[in-house]
Structure 1
Amino acid sequence: MKLHEPVTGGPCWAELGTSDLEAAERFYAGLFGWHCAADAGARAGGCTVARLDGAAVAALVPLDRRGRPVAWNVSFAVRDADAAVRQVTAAGGTVEQGPADVDAGRSVVAADPTGAVFQLWQGRSFPGAGLFNAPGSLGWVELLTREPGRAADFYTTVFGWTVTASDRYPQWGIDGADFGGMVTMDEKFPHEVPAHWLPYFAVADVDTAAADTTDAGGTVLMLPTSVPEGPRIAVLRDPQGAMFGVYRAGDER
Structure 2
Amino acid sequence: MPPVTPVPNDLRLNGKFIWYDLFTSDLKAVQPFYEALFGWSFHETATGETRVLTIRREGVPIANAVYVNETKIKDGASRWLSYMSVADVDQTVLRIEQNQGSVYMPPKDLPDRGRVAVVKDPEGALFAILTATGGDPPDPAYDLNDFLGSELWARQLETAIQFYQALVAYEIEMVDVGNEKDYHLLVRDDEPRAGVVQIPWDDVNPNWIPYIAVEDVAAVAVRVEVLGGRLLIAPDPEIREGNAAIPADAATCQAIIALLF
Q: State which of 1, 13, 21 in structure 2 corresponds to 1:15.
A: 21
TM-score where L is the length of structure 2: 0.84
Q: Whole-Å Cα distance in 2 between the matches of residues 26 and 115 of structure 1? A: 31
1:78 maps to amino acid: V
Q: Whole-Å Cα distance in 1 between the matches of residues 174 and 130 of structure 2? A: 28
Q: State which of 185, 192, 200 in structure 1 corresponds to 2:199.
A: 185
Note the C-alpha offset of 1:44: 5.5
Task: Report the more deviating stretch, 15-24 or 121-130.
Answer: 121-130
Shift of the 43–227 alpha-carbon distance from structure 1 to 2, 3 Å rule, reads farther
Q: Whole-Å Cα distance in 2 between the matches of residues 244 and 88 of structure 1? A: 25
Q: Whole-Å Cα distance in 1 between the matches of residues 136 and 27 of structure 2? A: 24
Query: Which digits, 9 at most, give the CA deviation of each residue in 1:164-203, with x for residues without a partner?
Result: 13542111111231132111124x332xx21000111011
Query: Which digits, 9 at most, give the CA deviation of each residue in 1:145-177, with x for residues without a partner?
Result: 111111011000111111113542111111231
Q: Confirm or deny: 8 A CA contact 2:16 2:149 kept in the other structure.
A: no
1:197 counterpart = 2:208 = yes
Q: State which of 25, 35, 52 in structure 2 corresponds to 1:47.
A: 52
* Alignment: residue pair count: 241
Runs of at least 5 residues in structure 2 that lack an aligned partner in the other structure:
1-10, 176-180
1:143 counterpart = 2:155 = no
Task: Report the more deviating stretch, 119-128 or 69-78.
Answer: 119-128
Runs of at least 5 residues in structure 1 that lack an aligned partner in the other structure:
none
1:133 maps to amino acid: Y
Q: Confirm or deny: 8 A CA contact 1:132 1:138 kept in the other structure.
A: no
Q: Whole-Å Cα distance in 2 between the matches of residues 132 and 64 of structure 1? A: 34
Q: Whole-Å Cα distance in 1 between the matches of residues 230 and 108 of structure 2? A: 35
Shift of the 226–129 alpha-carbon distance from structure 1 to 2, 3 Å rule, reads farther
Shift of the 92–164 alpha-carbon distance from structure 1 to 2, 3 Å rule, reads same
TM-score where L is the length of structure 1: 0.87
Note the C-alpha offset of 1:78: 1.5
Q: Confirm or deny: 8 A CA contact 1:141 1:197 kept in the other structure.
A: yes
Q: Which residue of 2 aligns with 1:172?
A: 186
Q: Whole-Å Cα distance in 1 between the matches of residues 140 and 249 of structure 2? A: 22
| SS of aligned partner of 1:139 | strand
Q: Confirm or deny: 8 A CA contact 2:43 2:53 kept in the other structure.
A: yes
Q: Confirm or deny: 8 A CA contact 2:14 2:86 kept in the other structure.
A: yes
